[in-house]
Amino acid sequence: MTELHLKDIRKSFGAVEVIKGVTLDIRSGEFMVFVGPSGCGKSTLLRLIAGLEDITSGTLEFDHDVVNGLSPSRRGIAMVFQSYALYPHMTVYDNMAFGMQLAKSSKEQVRQRVEKAAEMLQITPYLDRLPKQLSGGQRQRVAIGRAIVRDPKVFLFDEPLSNLDAALRVATRLEIAKLHHSMNNVTMIYVTHDQVEAMTLADRICVLRDGKIEQVGTPLELYENPQSLFVAGFIGSPKMNFLNGKFAERYRASTIGIRSEHIEVKERDGVWSGPVVHSEMLGSDSYIYVDVGSEEPLIVRQNGTTSKQLGEVLQLAPVGDNVHRFDQDGRPLASHSA
């Protein structure tokens, strides 16, 4: 049960400042996801927490102990790398046992922990194999197993699913979620650029941009109450619809945003109207793109298969008061009005 306190963490590589003052509290046992576009510094931040990079200024505390000066193995962390980083010349068993062997644990202890972790991840039949004899998904599980054996206080994941194909990604995501439930006293920090992973796995999400925190909150909070235009556009798939200019003036805002599932097609008297320019049918839902005169077409979600035709003119209106209003700085304006 370890909580982390990041206090004004900054990191520079030479003259370039990459992390520009991050202050964050991570609660013990929570699954925290760092998400953001590439170059936002999320991997760097993770590596600072791991101790693989030096913190330029600010303090990092594990349970109120400052750990800036400690090497990774002494911080009580374990890390799962994007490319698995398994030792190619060692068997799965040795890969998982390496850390404990270095710490001079007894053979008995090592065996117990390795076998337990192997069972948890269902890789027991592979213990005698070399990494090159395993598939990508199996290797990733070994990498996770290696981290579990360390019995860490903090578990770090650096985009672990990026190297897997789509189907495997979903399956492994489930494994990681189950892991979190079964090890619910271990704090987990997970880095990804995929907001779907973030939404599905996280207890809380930290959205990073350009080395700074944009917003921290539960997935639902970020979804329903984005505190900036950036977060509003980043979270949620498909992307939130944004309207400027005269469309936004109507709501007394600089920009308004509305999600595709919050727009309905009406018989007449819609707030916006225009022809259908494109449609995507995914089986369970459909997304129709309607040109209402704004820069980008509005994306409207429909249940099941849509009956709307290309070129058909539709009348659209927001459902309820789900219009997000933003001022010219991208900050949200107080609650919505029609």
Residue 190's identity, in one-letter code, is: Y
**Positive or negative, the Cα torsion across 210, 216, 217, 218?**
positive
Residue 176's identity, in one-letter code, is: I
**Does 8 engage in binding with other proteins (CB under 8 A)?**
yes
> What are the φ/ψ torsions at residue 179 (nearest 5 degrees)?
-60, -45
Instruction: Give the helix, strand, coil percentages of the chain, each rounded to 5.
Output: 30, 30, 40
Q: Which of residues 24-63 bind other proteins (CB under 8 A)?
A: 50-59
User: What are the structure tokens assigned to 109, written together?
Assistant: 């202890």
Which of 70, 168, 183, 333 forms a contact with other proteins (CB under 8 A)? 70
**Does 13 engage in binding with other proteins (CB under 8 A)?**
yes
Which of 3, 28, 63, 68 forms a contact with other proteins (CB under 8 A)? 68
Which of 89, 107, 116, 178 forms a contact with other proteins (CB under 8 A)? 89
**Positive or negative, the Cα torsion across 270, 271, 274, 278?**
negative
What is the closest distance, in whole angstroms, from the C-beta atom of residue 10 to other proteins in the complex? Answer: 6
Residue carrying structure tokens 């698995």: 84
What is the closest distance, in whole angstroms, from the C-beta atom of residue 7 to other proteins in the complex? Answer: 6
Of 14 and 311, which CB lies nearer to other proteins in the complex structure?
14
**Does 17 engage in binding with other proteins (CB under 8 A)?**
yes
Interface with other proteins (CB under 8 A), residue total 43
Of 156 and 299, which CB lies nearer to other proteins in the complex structure?
156
**Does 7 engage in binding with other proteins (CB under 8 A)?**
yes
Which of 26, 32, 40, 86 forms a contact with other proteins (CB under 8 A)? 86
3-class secondary structure, 132: helix
Q: Is 329 exposed, middle or buried (0-12, 13-18, 19+ CB in 10 A)?
A: exposed
Helix residue ranges per DSSP H, the chain:
42-50, 72-75, 92-102, 107-120, 136-149, 166-182, 195-201, 219-224, 229-234, 245-249
Q: Which of residues 146-175 bind other proteins (CB under 8 A)?
A: 146, 150
If you ran DSSP here, which 8-state letter would residue 194 be given? Answer: -
Of 98 and 230, which CB lies nearer to other proteins in the complex structure?
98
Bridge partners for 62 per DSSP = 4, 65
Which of 168, 173, 170 lies closest to 157, judged by CA? 173
Residue carrying structure tokens 């991570």: 26
249-278 footprint of other proteins as x/- string (CB under 8 A): ------------------------------
**Does 79 engage in binding with other proteins (CB under 8 A)?**
yes
**Does 133 engage in binding with other proteins (CB under 8 A)?**
no
**Does 211 engage in binding with other proteins (CB under 8 A)?**
no
Please report, as ranges, the residues that interact with other proteins according to CB under 8 A: 7-8, 10, 12-14, 17, 21, 50-59, 66, 68-74, 77-79, 81-83, 85-89, 98-99, 102-103, 146, 150
